[in-house]
A and B are shown apart, each in its own frame.
Chain A
Amino acid sequence: MTTDAMDTFRAEADALVESLEAALLKLKDAPDDRDLIDAVFRDLHTLKGSGAMFGRQDIASFIHSFETAFEDVRAGHVAVDDVLVNISLAARDHVAALLADPSAGEGRAILADLSEHLSRALVGAAPDWRLQFYLPSDTLALGGRPEIVLDELRALGAWEVTAHLDRLPPLAAMDPTQFYLGWSARLPGDTPEDAIRDVFLFHDTGLDLTLARSDEGEAFVAPALPGVDAVSEADKPAAAPSSLMRVPSERLDDLMDRVGELVIAESRLVELAARIGDPGLVSVAEDIQRLATAMRDTTMSVRMTPIGAISGRFRRLVHDLSDTLGKPIDFVTEGEETELDKTVVDRLTEPLLHIIRNAADHGLEPAETRLAAGKSPAGTVRLAASYSGAEVLIVIEDDGRGLDGPAIRARAVERGLLSEGADLTDDEVFALIFEPGFSTASEVTELSGRGVGMDVVRRTIEDLRGVIEVSSEPGHGTRVTLRLPLTLAIIDGLLVEVANERFVIPLAAVDEIVELPAEHATDESGNAFLDIRDTLVPFLRLRRLLSSTGEPDPHQKVIVVTSGDGRIGLVVDRIIGTNQTVIKQLSPLHAGLKTFSGATILGDGAVALILDVPQLVSKGQSVTEQGRHAA
C-alpha cells in the first residue's frame, strides 16, 4: 500500500467522519428524513469498506457492528431520537479516535449502549421475520432478476441483507448460466407472510426458502461469509462525482508559492521589457503578465473554501454544549457558502470554536432565567458570514444576557489593565475582554475553563490580518464581528513612495486619492483633518510615522483607506502605481511591528513593506478622539 493511497484514505476517512457527523446532527432535527438515514448508512458503509481495504479491521468491524445495530433504524423499527443521535455521535467520535490512534479500543461500551437503546425501543413489536433463500439455479437463464427480488424485499423493509456464497462451486466447476447465490435477511415482524412469499412468485420452482419468526429458534444454517454484503445499487459506496478531486492541501500551498514566484518574475520581466523598449519583448511581457494574473486568480479560486466546511464542528460543539449545560440552544448559520482562503478557514476554526463556546456558556442564560426575562427558553447562537469588499465579515451573535460593562471595567481595574475612572466608550470597555488573562465569568465551568483565551483569539485573528470587534446590549446579547481578508497570499497593491522608500498599500482598502491641500503641505503641527466633500477625514503623515528623513515632495498625495467603519488618509510623496503583491510574512524578529502586515519583493528585486491598513485606521481613530477632546 503506497503512502499516497494511505494519505488519500486518511483524507477520505476524515471527510466521511465529518459528513457522518453533519448528517447525524441534521437527523436530530429531522428524525424522519429517510435521505439522512440513508446518508448515514452510505458514510458508514464506505468507511467500513475502505477501512477494511487499508488494513483497518478494527475500524471495519466496529462500524460493521454499529451498522448492523442501526439496521433497525433504517428498517423503520426504531425512531430516531436524541438518545440515539448522542450514542451515534459517540460512535462517530470513536471512529475518529480509531483513525487517529488504532489503540483507541474496541468501543464495546458504545455498541452496548446502542443495542440496549434499540432493544428497549423494539419491545412490543412482533418478532421479526428471518428468511434465507437460494434462488433456482436456472434463474438467470430464464430471465430472472435476483436484484428485483432483493429490491422487493427491501421495499418490505428488509435489513441485514447478507449474501451467502456457500453454494458457489470451485471456479473450475462453475457453470456461468447457473445461479448459486443465496441471501439471508430480516423483515419487519408485521409483514404478512403472503407478501413475503409473493416476492418469490416466479422463483418457486427449485426455490430453497426458509422463513421463520426470529424467536422460533435457530432454523438457519450459519451464514458462510459474514460481512460480505449483498451488492445492489443502494449498498454501493457513493462514488465521488467525477468532476471533483481531492488534493492534499500542501500541494495547493506549493502551487501558490510557485505562482507567487511567477508573479515576481513576471513583474521583473515587465520592468526589464519597459527599460529595453523592444516592442516584441514588451508584447511578450504583456502576454506573460496577463497569463500570470489569470493563473493567480485561478489558483486563488482553487484555494477558496466555504465557511460551511468547518461549520459542522460548530454545530457539534453547540449540540454537546447544549447537552452538558442543560440549556436548549438553537444554532443558526447563514452564508455558509461564503469562501475564504483555505489557510484562513483552517486557522479560523479554533478562534470561532472559542467564541461560540463563550457565547453558549457565558452569553446564554439558563432556560428559567430566560423565561423570567420574557425570552424564549431556547437561546440562539448565530454564525453569519458575508462578503464586504475584499473582506469577509463573520458575525457570531447570541441573544443572551449581554456583556456586563461595569463588571468588565471593575475587573480590568483590578487586573491593572485600566486606571480607575478612565474615560472609555462602551465598546472600548467591551474590547477589554481581549486583553490577556481577562475573564468575566465568575463561575468556573467545565467548558470554558477560566474564560481565558480571548486574547489568543484576537492575536490569531490579527495574525490573519483580520480585525475583531465586540458589541453588546445588556439583556439582549453579544455580537462578535470578525473582518478577514479574502486571501493571505497575493493581493493587488498600490505602490507608493515616502522619502525615497517604497511601501505597498492593499488596493482593496483604497477609497480615493487626493492631492494634499497646500495649507497642510508644511504645517506639521496643524490639525490633522482633511475636508473631503464636507466630511472630516483624519490623516497620518507617513513620513512622520515611518521616521523618514529628507524634504517632502511638493505635491504630496493623500490616499484615503477604509477598514470596517473607519477611514483615514495616508500622506505619501508619490504614487508609483499598482502591482501584484505577493505577501511574505515578516520573520518573528519583526512580527511585533504593528505598522506592517508583511513584505513583498518588487520587480527590481528590492523588498517593500506592506502597510497594515486596519492598524493605521485604528491609529487614525485615536487621532480623531484626540481631535474631539482638543475641540
Chain B
Amino acid sequence: MTATVLVVDDSPSVRQLVSNTLEASGYATFTASDGQEALDLSEGRRPDAVITDQNMPRLDGLGFCEAFRARPGNQGVPIIFLSTDDADTLKARARAAGAIGWMIKPFDQQKLLAVMGKVLPI
C-alpha cells in the first residue's frame, strides 16, 4: 500500500512543492489549507504521516496536532512540524502537542525526503 501523507499549509505554493516532491518519490499525498480542513479530511482518510505548518487561519498547527492526537486511531501517526521559527519553546510545545519532529523553512527537496524517510520510509 502506498504511504499516504497529509500536507497542511495555508500557502498553495508550499503545499504544491511539498506534495510534488513527495509524489515524485512514491508517496501519495492529500492536502489541506488549514488545521480545521485537515481535521475534517482526516476523518474520512487516515494518513500514514502528516506534515503541517504552524501559522494558519481557523486552526493552527499546534491546535491541529492536539485535536488530531486526541482522536482514537491517530496514535502512532507521525506528525512533522514546518516552521520558520527555530525557537526551542515552540519545539517543546510541538512535542507536547504530539509532533514527533519539525523542519525549519526554507528547506530543499532532499532535506524533505530525508526527513520523511525517518518517519515513513517508502
Contacts and interface: CB of A to CB of B under 8 A. Distances in A.
B17 interface: no
Given A142-B98, A143-B100, A205-B95, A148 B118 contact: yes
Contacts of B117: 148
A567 B98 CA distance: 87
Contact of B119 (A140, A141, A145): A145
B121 A201 contact: no
B120 to A, nearest CB: 8
Given A201-B115, A202-B118, A144 B100 contact: yes
Interface in A199-213: 201-202, 205
A177 interface: yes
- Give the most central of A151, A177, A201: most B CB within 10 Å: A201
A141 B76 contact: yes
A151 B99 CA distance: 22
B61 interface: no
Contacts of A151: 121
Contacts of B115: 201-202
Nearest to A138: B95
B119 A143 contact: yes
How large, as a class, is the contact surface on chain B? 10 to 19
B79 interface: yes
A202 B101 contact: yes
B92 A143 contact: no
A23 to B, nearest CB: 29
A151 B119 CA distance: 12
B92 A142 contact: no
- The prevalent SS among residues of A at the interface is loop
A462 B109 CA distance: 73
Nearest to A144: B100
Interface in A131-179: 140-145, 148, 151-152, 177
Contact of B79 (A143, A145, A152, A201): A143
Interface string B103-122: 00000000000010111110
Interface in A105-154: 140-145, 148, 151-152
Interface string A375-418: 00000000000000000000000000000000000000000000
Contacts of B121: 145, 148, 151
Given A201-B101, A202-B100, A205-B95, A141 B118 contact: no
B92 A205 contact: yes
Interface string B71-83: 0000111110000
B119 A148 contact: yes
Contacts of B119: 143-145, 148, 202
Contacts of B76: 140-143
B49 A201 contact: no
- Give the most central of A148, A152, A202, A205: most B CB within 10 Å: A202
Interface in B52-95: 75-79, 91-92, 95
Interface residues of A, number: 13
A140 B95 CA distance: 13
A177 B100 contact: no
Given A202-B100, A205-B91, A142 B118 contact: no
A177 B92 contact: no
A145 B48 CA distance: 12
A143 B68 CA distance: 13
Interface in B19-76: 49, 75-76
A202 B75 CA distance: 17
A177 B75 contact: yes
B118 A143 contact: no
Nearest to A177: B75
Interface in A49-66: none
A143 B91 contact: no
A117 B100 CA distance: 45
A8 B120 CA distance: 40
A142 B99 contact: yes
A201 B81 CA distance: 13
A141 B76 CA distance: 5
A133 to B, nearest CB: 15
A553 B20 CA distance: 93
Contacts of A201: 101, 115, 118
- Give the most central of B75, B99, B100, B101: most A CB within 10 Å: B100
Nearest to A151: B121
- Give the most central of B98, B118, B120: most A CB within 10 Å: B118
Interface in A342-396: none
Contacts of A205: 91-92, 95
Nearest to B91: A205
A341 B99 CA distance: 64
A342 B119 CA distance: 51
A141 to B, nearest CB: 6
A307 B119 CA distance: 48
Interface of A: 140-145, 148, 151-152, 177, 201-202, 205
Given A143-B119, A145-B121, 15 more contacts: A140-B76, A141-B75, A142-B78, A142-B79, A142-B95, A142-B98, A143-B76, A143-B77, A143-B100, A144-B100, A144-B119, A145-B118, A148-B119, A202-B78, A205-B95
Instruction: Give me the 3 closest cross-chain CB pairs, A-B, nearest first.
Output: A143-B78, A202-B101, A142-B100
30 contacts: A141-B75, A141-B76, A141-B98, A142-B79, A142-B95, A142-B98, A142-B100, A143-B49, A143-B76, A143-B77, A143-B78, A143-B79, A144-B78, A144-B100, A144-B119, A145-B118, A145-B119, A145-B120, A145-B121, A148-B117, A148-B118, A148-B119, A148-B121, A201-B101, A202-B78, A202-B100, A202-B101, A202-B118, A202-B119, A205-B91
Interface of B: 49, 75-79, 91-92, 95, 98-101, 115, 117-121
